[in-house]
Copies of this chain bind each other. A is one copy, B any other.
């Protein structure tokens, strides 16, 4: 179990092993139920070394949050082509989001569940990342409105609320997609895109939002 016991490796490498073990353990057991003993064993090192490098359980958890938050935001930003129209950007961003969370369930659990349930300090850490995502979505909404050149009367707070709702729906669907067998990241993205862009009213009237054909692998 755990990493193979290879001795004497450079600090940076060891640290990553520890963070890997920590994310896995925190994600599966929860912050409080995860013991430093278990993390150290899973990382294949002795407990004092974990303390030497990461300082304390608190700091270790914070490091996990930061690493996973960065990874997630980079995945989303990296998945989006800023030259496309707003709805296409949203569609791509959602796809990247669902793909990343599906591939890193422990990291997502750390961010979405653990970090928000164990003290303001950690919650603030994720909140920062979340605000980045919300801001990104907010920009998309405003850009979309501009593109519709309707200069729609969307007040500041209203847009903030919409972005918040969209991100919240995405987070919720991520868990649903992970838990429902047969639902892919792409399908989750499509469902949410429909919901968010077309709205229930249009959907019921038979006017869904139409996803582009095979956007990722397409030539043009």
Contacts and interface: CB of A to CB of B under 8 A. Distances in A.
Interface string A172-200: 11011000000100011001101111111
A168 interface: yes
A147 B205 CA distance: 10
Interface bracket on A: 35 or more
How many copies the complex holds: the figure is: 4
A141 to B, nearest CB: 6
Interface of A: 30-33, 87, 113-114, 116-119, 141, 144-145, 147-148, 150, 152-154, 157-158, 161-162, 164-173, 175-176, 183, 187-188, 191-192, 194-206, 209
A33 B198 CA distance: 43
A110 B33 CA distance: 17
Contacts of A153: 206
20 contacts: A32-B33, A114-B117, A117-B117, A145-B204, A152-B206, A153-B206, A157-B183, A161-B187, A161-B192, A161-B195, A162-B200, A162-B203, A164-B172, A168-B172, A168-B176, A195-B199, A196-B200, A197-B200, A199-B201, A201-B209
